[in-house]
Amino acid sequence: MELSKTMFMNRKMLKLAFLNLFRNKRRSLSTGMAICVGFVGLNLLGAYIYRVKRALDTTSVYSALRGHVQIFKKDALVNYAIRPERYSLSPSEISQVSDILKVHASEIEYIGRNLSGSGLLSNGSRSHPVLAFSYEAEVYARSLMQPELLKWANDWVLPSQLENIDIFKQSEDVISITPKIADIMGFQYPLSSQESAQIAARTFTGDLNAVNVELGAEHTTGLQYLEDTIILVPLKKMQELLATENIESFSLYLKSSVSFTELKKQLDRELSQLSFPTETYLYFDEKINAMYVGTLGFLIVMGSFFVFLIGTAVSLTIVNSLTMGIIERTKEIGTLRAVGFRQRDVARIFVLENIQLCLFSIVIGIVITYFIAFIVNALNIQFTPPAVSGKVQFKLGWNLFIAGVITSLVLLLTWISSIIVMRTKLKVKLIDLINDSGA
């Protein structure tokens, strides 16, 4: 009996709050618009940050051939360049690590082995300093064909990379260079028509060595400052150049359902049992991917600043609108209190009024955001972000998860703003409320 009475009262309050929205249509409209614009702004900002994050995720894992988890010999990040022999994994160490990885076959989609070194790319008449990273044909092809990579970072995959995806399987001498290196070295297109090139580097034992390589493939690093530096060399060719059978690291490409951090913890435990010390890193670790951490950190700081600005503006609009409503309806509040409404009930009517206004604004905001995101993505607007090589599409990765988070945030903001106003404004005595002229 008591419960049905409460429900009846709540329904009445909800209806009353809804009807109140139409008493001052102009104010309700302006407040609703402010909430709606703020909501759309936050959604678009969230969509952009999400898109950048996904692009960074996929390029870090697949384009840069890092995988989700990388295994190095301990301290290799600092010392590999100085003492490569000691800080790389020897064939017997590779075999020991591989045995551990076999246990996790159900969690790992595929595994890559890496080796890198600095050297010179020569065309017979001049040389250009490069950083050479190894690749394995199968791993490279699988990484490039990842749907996630093509969805979020297709700007960083050259069309020719996909067209020539099998070129590495045909010859173990083919290297991949960037279009900028091709330009610097004067290599003509198609690259496969060029005579062989040579790469020279210092071997693990300190000798100068050089090998013949074939041109034919190209890639982009996506970064302006690396575009004239990075070449990709088949692992076997790289081992021949550096006169070693060692590798620098393993890259583990995990299945989508696997928790990276959990697997890393397990691997750390198991690898610690080996006779040599190792280190594992997730692809977003600052030590191996400072670019990722820096870019995302900057976007999050920038995003937080905008959230604060928009949130404050929305909050102030609600406070202002509610205060005006209370001042205008002081006499009415007094009457409600006189007929038995408690101060809490009156406050609830006002809060519900604002929550309903907020919900209407959010629904409209979701529709507007969807259309803006759709139009922006369809327009294929090209721009050059700082430090990025070439133009990329200004794409918004909006989804219902982002909308849900921002809806919760805006609703919370509305509720808090309403509660604060009601608490401060409804402390007036009943007799003063009834006597108020409404001015």
Partner 1 sequence: MKNIFLFIVALFLVKNSLASISAEELLRASDQGRGGIKSGIEWVTEIETIENGEKSNRKFKVKTLDHDAYVEAIAPAKNKGEVYIFNDRNMWFYKPSLKKPVSISARQKLSGQAANGDIASTHYARDYSAVLEKEDSFNGQKCFVLLLKAKTKNLTYDQIRYWINAKSRLAVKAEFLTLQGKPFKVGTLEYANKFKLDGQVIAFVSSLTIADAKFPENKSIIKYSVPKAADHSAALFNVNNLTR
Residue 198 binds partner 1 (CB under 8 A): yes
Question: Which one among 163, 183, 207, 262 touches partner 1, defined by CB under 8 A?
Answer: 207
Task: Select 24 or 198, whichever has its Cβ closest to partner 1.
Answer: 198
Neighbours of 203 (CB within 10 A): 16
Task: Select 126 or 429, whichever has its Cβ closest to partner 1.
Answer: 126
Q: Map the footprint of partner 1 across residues 95-134, applying CB under 8 A.
A: 119-120, 122-129
HSE toward the beta carbon, residue 163, CA cutoff 13 A: 8
C-beta of residue 210 within 8 angstroms of C-beta of residue 72? no
Stretch near partner 1 under the rule CB under 8 A, chosen from 30-38, 199-207, 305-313, 411-419: 199-207
Residue 206 binds partner 1 (CB under 8 A): yes
- Ramachandran category for residue 340: left, alpha or beta (phi over 0 → left; psi -120 to 50 → alpha): left
Residue 194 binds partner 1 (CB under 8 A): no
Instruction: From 74, 69, 66, select the one nearest 272 (Cα to Cα).
Output: 74
Binding mask 29-68 for partner 1 (x = CB under 8 A): ----------------------------------------
Q: Map the footprint of partner 1 across residues 80-99, applying CB under 8 A.
A: 82-83, 85
Residue 186 binds partner 1 (CB under 8 A): no
Q: Map the footprint of partner 1 across residues 405-424, applying CB under 8 A.
A: none
Task: Select 199 or 376, whichever has its Cβ closest to partner 1.
Answer: 199
Task: Select 186 or 297, whichever has its Cβ closest to partner 1.
Answer: 186
Pairing type for strands 197-202 and 116-122 reads antiparallel
Instruction: Give a three-class secondary structure readout of the chain.
Output: CHHHHHHHHHHHHHHHHHHHCCCCHHHHHHHHHHHHHHHHHHHHHHHHHHHHHHHHHHHHHHHCCCCCEEEEECCHHHHCCCCCCCCCECHHHHHHHHHHHHHCCCCEEEEEEECEEEEEEECCCCEEEEEEEEECHHHHHHHHCCHHHHHHCHHHCCHHHHHCCCHHHHCCCEEEECHHHHHHHCCCCCHHHCCCEEEEEECCCCCEEEEEEEEEEECCCCEHHHCCCEEEEEHHHHHHHCCCCCECEEEEEECCCCCHHHHHHHHHHHHCCCCCCEEEEECCCCCCCHHHHHHHHHHHHHHHHHHHHHHHHHHHHHHHHHHHHHHHCHHHHHHHHHCCCCHHHHHHHHHHHHHHHHHHHHHHHHHHHHHHHHHHHHHCCEECCCCECCCEECCCCCCHHHHHHHHHHHHHHHHHHHHHHHHHHCCCCHHHHHHCCCC
Amino acid at 147: P
Task: Select 185 or 422, whichever has its Cβ closest to partner 1.
Answer: 185
Question: Which one among 170, 212, 382, 399 touches partner 1, defined by CB under 8 A?
Answer: 212
Residue 78 binds partner 1 (CB under 8 A): no
Task: Select 23 or 83, whichever has its Cβ closest to partner 1.
Answer: 83
Question: Which one among 210, 299, 355, 419 touches partner 1, defined by CB under 8 A?
Answer: 210
Q: Cβ of residue 210: shortest distance to partner 1, in angstroms?
A: 5
C-alpha distance from residue 208 to each of 121, 177, 203, 235, 241 (Å): 13, 22, 6, 19, 9
Binding mask 358-397 for partner 1 (x = CB under 8 A): ----------------------------------------
Stretch near partner 1 under the rule CB under 8 A, chosen from 107-115, 196-204, 288-296, 313-321: 196-204
Task: Select 233 or 310, whichever has its Cβ closest to partner 1.
Answer: 233
Q: Cβ of residue 166: shortest distance to partner 1, in angstroms?
A: 25
Question: Which one among 98, 170, 192, 205 touches partner 1, defined by CB under 8 A?
Answer: 205
Q: Cβ of residue 121: shortest distance to partner 1, in angstroms?
A: 9
Stretch near partner 1 under the rule CB under 8 A, chosen from 194-202, 255-263, 391-399, 402-410: 194-202
Residue 425 binds partner 1 (CB under 8 A): no
Q: Cβ of residue 207: shortest distance to partner 1, in angstroms?
A: 6
Residue 195 binds partner 1 (CB under 8 A): yes
Residue 188 binds partner 1 (CB under 8 A): no
Task: Select 142 or 202, whichever has its Cβ closest to partner 1.
Answer: 202
**Footprint of partner 1 (CB under 8 A):** 82-83, 85, 119-120, 122-129, 195-196, 198, 200, 202, 205-212
